[in-house]
Amino acid sequence: MRKLVLGLVAATAVAAPIAMAASSANAATTDANGVVTVTKGDVQAAMGWNNDQFQALASTVTFTGSSSVTGYGDETHMIKSPTGEWHDYGYSNVTGSISKPEDCQWATAWGFEGDVWQPAKATVTVTPVKNSQQKITGWTVASTGYSTTRSNHVWCDMGGEMGGYDRTTTEYFDGGSLASVQVNGKNVAVTPYVAPTA
């Protein structure tokens, strides 16, 4: 009986490091420049795909990321949006004495309420990594900046008659790095870069 117990303990001690190694294997890695390498195994783990599913669907995956920036964005690093504008506006639910947001420029008073900022979203460049048979084996994902989106309700006083609308504003910035990566909306574990000790 004593030999059996010792045998089970030894087997458990050996199995634990193997399990740990398997769980840490499915984590994307980050290099010194902040570029994240996502492997085939990382995507399969996130999506629950087998090899056949990966080969059939690899060319359809999309990557997104959250930024290391946690605030509203540094205005000194603001850049133009993909549309060429400094701010991208969207609006909905126009109410009261106005028919469109531009009407509020004639208001005697205006303001906003319910200010909500969304977490900074990284803008990314994604490059497939292929083997000699031109099959995708992974991707590199690099942050080229980030954007922040603000939502609020704008009200305006049109000489005693009130109007308003719900507004979203997105601003774009350079800087920041990738805090997390998602593939088709599903999180991929990312191992941060650790500088070698001198």
Q: Residue 172 class from Cβ within 10 Å (0-12 exposed, 13-18 middle, 19+ buried)?
A: buried
Strands (E), the chain: 28-30, 36-39, 63-67, 78-79, 88-96, 109-117, 121-130, 136-158, 161-173, 178-183, 186-188, 190-191
Give the per-residue pLDDT at 11.
Answer: 40
The CA-CA-CA angle for residues 51, 57, 63, to 5°, reads 110
Top-confidence residue, 121 or 2:
121
Q: How large is the average pLDDT for residues 178-197? A: 88
Tens-digit pLDDT profile for residues 144-165:
899 999 999 999 999 899 999 9
Tens-digit pLDDT profile for residues 16-47:
343 333 334 568 888 888 899 999 999 999 99
122 in Cβ contact with 172 (< 8 Å): no
Give 5's contacts (C-beta < 8 A, 6+ positions apart): none
Q: Mind giving me the DSSP string for 117-155?
A: EPPPEEEEEEEEEE-TT--EEEEEEEEEEEEEEEEEEEE
Mean pLDDT of the chain: 84
For residue 18, the SS3 value is helix
Tens-digit pLDDT profile for residues 50-86:
999 999 999 999 999 988 888 788 888 899 888 888 8
